[in-house]
Amino acid sequence: MPVIQQVTSELSNNPLLLLAVLPAAFILVRVITYFKDASGLRSYPGPFLAKFTDAWMFWVVSHNRWSSAVDEMHRKHGPFVRLAPNYVSISDPKALDAIYGHSAGLMKASFYDIFANFSVRNIFNTRSRTEHARKRRAEAHMFAPQSIRAVEPLSHVHVAEFLRQWDHLASRVQESQHGGGPLKGQLGSGAWSVENGCVWFDCMPWINFWAFDTIGDLAFGLPFGMLKSGRDTARVAKNPEEGFRAIEKITEGSGKLDIEEEDIPYVENLSTRAEINACLGWLPRAWQVILPRIPGSGFNSYSDASKKLASLSIMAVARRLANPSGRPDMLQKLLEARDDEGKPLSPVELSAEAFVLIVAGSDTIANTTCATTYYLARDQRVQAKLQAELDAALASVDSEVAPYDVVKDLPYLDAVIHEGQRLHATIGAGLPREVPAGGATILGHHLKEGTWVSVPIYHLHRAESIWGPDASEFRPERWIEASPGRKKQMMEAFVPFSIGPRACIGRSLAIMQLHIIVATLFRRYEFALKSDAPLQIRDVLARRPLECLVGMKRRKI
Ligand code: HEM
């Protein structure tokens, strides 16, 4: 019997032998691939495991060390680091344009496939240049300066609701000072306690409630009501398929909205999905399908969370179609959008686009606001300086919510927001892009077709070579003191919204929201921390604060 036949028959008769041989064969294939070096990356330094397998990326992401591990690798090995057999991270700001710029020609890598939870792609997860350009054209006017300014009054409503709840919390301080008031309690789902003249509570859930209510309203005319209830809860279609059927019937003019709904903890589902996506994105497609199906793998909640999140946008689209309003929100603009043949978006595409607006436009703003609040609460000097600027600028303004026109050009507020975005880096990861046919030359290095490349934002925002020896300090003054030449250098390395054709489309809205919320909160309240302990983060593409316990009281203004 020939040797190969003998070996296969031996293996099929002996499953234990097969179990032992499979890992050995796997490792052998990886070692041979490494030495064959088809990717041409063998000479690049990096973690040992990453030379052979994507498992290094999977491991660091699943251990909550995405941005920090990549940062460490660059500090150890320099600007070019191999993070996976086919993936190089480049930490030089000069690489940004070559990778993400308009004429770069690199598209999103297949890492983004894991984010597709509808049968069609959305503006964020499509990897097709043509499809992306079509979507971006259709959605650009939603984010034009006049469209953003038109929604400012809507956004004020939610900031005012936010103040009602925090005023209520702050009033606990006076109540306890005047005797009789309780020293601890619960508002919505959050606990609070009074100590040292402040009310202490975790501000992260409240900031989430505000951000989600606001984007729910701006996107769909459908605030979730999280601020009012103080709870993470949203009404969604119980069955997404039923939602699509209802949309189709309504579009054909032959149906009423009659969908079974349920309440879900939306933010919690979003966190679950984000955490799992960030890990699964580094695995081969087969593993992405298998792992969520294995009981006890830690990935089981994935499909359920994805479906529930999708149901929210399906429900919102169905509601709007059933009750057309003409309201100037994003959903209305999506309904008016036409493709290149003049056709409206299909129900599933509408829902997919609405979904990404909610996800991209809430979490990111909430994380940035929470981290900025943390840094300001930790540094009383910076907080007082900001408050002095806000007091002067808003002295004659008769509104508890800071109008954008009044606060948009305040130098210290601007510097605080920049510094919060720099140091926290809400999107801290390198955003992976794939080298197209013909290869690409980046900073003199020729990389072959199919190689993944990225620039690590967290590392760039903290590199001493760019920001100086105090790079890891929260010091807004750096933005004001810098000479024009230095400021240019800083801005070239400051990329919280990324750059190029796939840069954040919601940037102007985010900047407006951040100015309004930081100015309003810090004019009205004082914040403190109990210790200088670092902010605990879950790093899953977006870097989300897990908890931020602050002491807060009303200011005398
Ligand atoms: C502080 C807040 C925000 C930050 C830091 C941020 C950051 C980013 C970054 C870095 C990207 C590029 C992602 C990638 O290449 O994978 C992005 C894309 C995107 N962002 Fe934002 N974002 C913020 C707020 C918003 C808001 C308010 C919206 C909309 C309501 C939004 C909608 C989007 C969309 C749709 C994309 C995909 C754009 C495309 O591929 O053409 N973002 N954002």
- Look at ligand 1, atom 22, and give the residue with the nearest C-alpha: 504
Strands 87-90 and 107-108: unpaired
Probe target for ligand 1 pocket from 368, 419, 504, 512, with the most ligand atoms within 8 Å of CB: 504
Distance (angstroms) between ligand 1 centre and the Cα of 340 equals 24
Rounded Cα distance between 190 and 201, Å, is: 7
Strands of 412-547, DSSP E: 433-434, 440-442, 445-447, 452-454, 525-528, 536-540, 542-547
Distance (angstroms) between ligand 1 centre and the Cα of 104 equals 19
Q: Which atom of ligand 1 is nearest to the CA of 509?
A: 27
Rounded Cα distance between 410 and 525, Å, is: 19
Question: Is residue 523 predicted with pLDDT exceeding 90?
Answer: yes
- Using one digit for the tens of pLDDT, what is the confidence trace for 470-496? 999 999 999 999 999 999 999 999 999
Confidence label for 299 from pLDDT (cuts 50, 70 and 90):
confident
- Using one digit for the tens of pLDDT, what is the confidence trace for 65-93? 999 999 999 999 999 999 999 999 999 99
Question: Is residue 1 predicted with pLDDT exceeding 70?
Answer: no
- Using one digit for the tens of pLDDT, what is the confidence trace for 313-370? 888 888 888 878 777 788 888 888 887 788 888 888 888 999 999 999 999 999 999 9
User: What does the pLDDT read at residue 129?
Assistant: 94
Distance (angstroms) between ligand 1 centre and the Cα of 5 equals 55
% of the chain at pLDDT higher than 90: 67
Question: Is residue 297 predicted with pLDDT exceeding 90?
Answer: no
| Average pLDDT value for the chain | 91
**What token pair was written down for 333?**
């603009």
User: What does the pLDDT read at residue 74?
Assistant: 98
Rounded Cα distance between 299 and 510, Å, is: 31
User: What letter would DSSP give residue 213?
Assistant: H
User: What does the pLDDT read at residue 340?
Assistant: 76
- Using one digit for the tens of pLDDT, what is the confidence trace for 43-66? 999 999 999 999 999 999 999 999
**What token pair was written down for 431?**
């955003």
**Residue showing tokens 């919390």:** 169
Question: Is residue 255 predicted with pLDDT exceeding 70?
Answer: no
Region 429-440 average pLDDT: 96
Residues with CB under 6 A from ligand 1: 123-124, 136, 356-357, 360-361, 364-365, 368, 426-427, 431, 496-498, 502, 504-506, 509-510
Question: Is residue 31 predicted with pLDDT exceeding 80?
Answer: no
Distance (angstroms) between ligand 1 centre and the Cα of 510 equals 9
Distance (angstroms) between ligand 1 centre and the Cα of 187 equals 32
> For residue 87, which phi and psi values (nearest 5 degrees)?
-140, 125
Rounded Cα distance between 190 and 202, Å, is: 7
Q: Which atom of ligand 1 is nearest to the CA of 219?
A: 30
Rounded Cα distance between 525 and 61, Å, is: 36
- Using one digit for the tens of pLDDT, what is the confidence trace for 449-472? 999 999 999 999 999 999 999 999
Confidence label for 519 from pLDDT (cuts 50, 70 and 90):
very high
Q: In the chain, what are the helix, strand and coil shares in percent, each to the nearest 5?
A: 55, 15, 30
Question: Is residue 302 predicted with pLDDT exceeding 80?
Answer: no
Between 167 and 325, the more confident residue is 167
User: What does the pLDDT read at residue 55?
Assistant: 94
User: What does the pLDDT read at residue 219?
Assistant: 85
The structure's pTM equals 0.93
- Look at ligand 1, atom 17, and give the residue with the nearest C-alpha: 504
Between 332 and 227, the more confident residue is 227
User: What does the pLDDT read at residue 4?
Assistant: 66
**What token pair was written down for 318?**
């169905």
Rounded Cα distance between 209 and 369, Å, is: 12
Distance (angstroms) between ligand 1 centre and the Cα of 40 equals 33
Residue 505 DSSP SS3: coil
User: What does the pLDDT read at residue 161?
Assistant: 97
Confidence label for 19 from pLDDT (cuts 50, 70 and 90):
confident
Residue 2 DSSP SS3: coil
- Using one digit for the tens of pLDDT, what is the confidence trace for 97-149? 999 999 999 999 999 999 998 889 999 999 999 999 999 998 898 899 888 99
User: What does the pLDDT read at residue 33?
Assistant: 81
Rounded Cα distance between 57 and 60, Å, is: 5
- Look at ligand 1, atom 39, and give the residue with the nearest C-alpha: 502
Between 343 and 408, the more confident residue is 408
Least confident of 146-155, 292-301, 367-376, 508-517: 292-301
Question: Is residue 167 predicted with pLDDT exceeding 90?
Answer: yes
Residue 104 DSSP SS3: coil
